[in-house]
């Protein structure tokens, strides 16, 4: 399955939801997806285009545009094409549907993206911090305007 076929199939099936689809190289394609359709698109990718392997889910912060992006890297065990699927989210209330029902291993990636960026994955089975302690929830340390975590241990001692 080559990059052009995948792009054509994807834009043909979701003309409204998919935008700015492009081919970077024969094995790398990318597209923006409407945030309400992300899960549906993932389901289609998995069922019809052999994208059965979720590489990662991550967030990117763009304070100038007042946006966060949720970025999914979706690959396949059969072909070498990797799709970078991005969804634009408003920075003050970033919410997107969880894709755990489609890709089982999205669970931890979404938990991590949630604690680092504050992106809320709706209908996630267990949305709680993964690598950070509970008291750091709300700090969103990977956002660009994060200025460091106050040393709460020392404060408690005083």
Partner 1 sequence: MEEMLESNEMIIHLGPQHPMQPGPFRLNLRLKGETVMDAEVELGYIHKGIEKILENKTYLQGITIVDRICYLVALTNEECFVGCAEKLLGIEPPARSQYIRVILEELSRLQSHLLGLGEFGEFIGFVSMFMYTIKEREEIVGLIDMVTGARVTHSYLRFGGVRDDLPAGFKEKTLPVLNNLKKVISDYEEMFQSDRIYRERTAGVGILTADVAKSLGVSGPALRATGVPFDIRKNEPYLVYKDLDFKVCTETAGDCAARVQVRLNEMRESIYILEQCFDQIPNGPLFPEGTPYGRRTPVMRVPAGEVFHRVEDPRGEMGMYMISDGTDKPYRVKVRGPYFPTLQALPPLIIGTTVADVAAISGSMDGCTSEADR
Following DSSP, what letter does each residue of 5-51 receive, concatenated? HHHHHHHHH-TTTEEEEEEEETTEEEEEE-TTTHHHHHHHHHHHS--
Asked whether position 129 contacts partner 1 by CB under 8 A, the answer is: yes
Given 1, 23, 60, 120, the residue binding partner 1 (CB under 8 A) = 60
137 in contact with partner 1 (CB under 8 A): no
Which residue among 77, 138, 151, 155 contacts partner 1 (CB under 8 A)?
77
Residue 27 or residue 123: which is nearer to partner 1 going by CB? 27
50 belongs to the binding site for partner 1 (CB under 8 A): no
Long-range pairs for 118-124: beta carbons < 8 A, 24 or more residues apart: 118/68, 118/94, 118/143, 119/59, 119/68, 119/70, 119/89, 119/94, 119/95, 120/94, 120/95, 120/96, 121/96, 121/97, 122/95, 122/96, 122/97, 122/98, 123/97, 123/98, 124/98, 124/100
**Binding letters toward partner 1, positions 19-48, x by CB under 8 A:** --------xx--------------------
Nearest CB to partner 1, comparing residues 61 and 97: 61
Q: List the one residue from 2, 4, 65, 80 that touches partner 1 (CB under 8 A).
A: 80
Binding site for partner 1 (CB under 8 A): 27-28, 52-56, 58, 60-61, 71, 73, 77, 80, 82, 84, 103-105, 107-108, 116, 129-133, 141-142, 146
């Amino acid at each position: 399955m080559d990059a052009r076929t995948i792009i054509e199939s994807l834009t043909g099936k979701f003309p409204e939801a998919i935008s700015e689809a492009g081919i970077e190289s024969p094995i790398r394609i990318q597209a923006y997806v409407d945030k309400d359709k992300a899960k549906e698109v993932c389901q289609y990718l998995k069922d019809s285009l052999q994208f059965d392997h979720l590489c990662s889910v991550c967030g990117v912060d763009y304070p100038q545009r007042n946006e966060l992006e949720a970025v999914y890297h979706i690959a396949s065990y059969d072909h070498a094409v990797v799709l970078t699927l991005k969804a634009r989210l408003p920075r003050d209330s970033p919410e997107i549907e969880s894709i755990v029902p489609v890709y089982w291993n999205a669970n931890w990636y979404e938990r991590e993206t949630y604690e680092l960026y504050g992106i809320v994955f709706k209908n996630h089975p267990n949305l709680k911090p993964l690598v950070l302690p509970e008291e750091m929830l709300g700090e969103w340390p990977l956002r660009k305007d994060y200025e460091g975590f106050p040393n709460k241990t020392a404060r408690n001692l005083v």
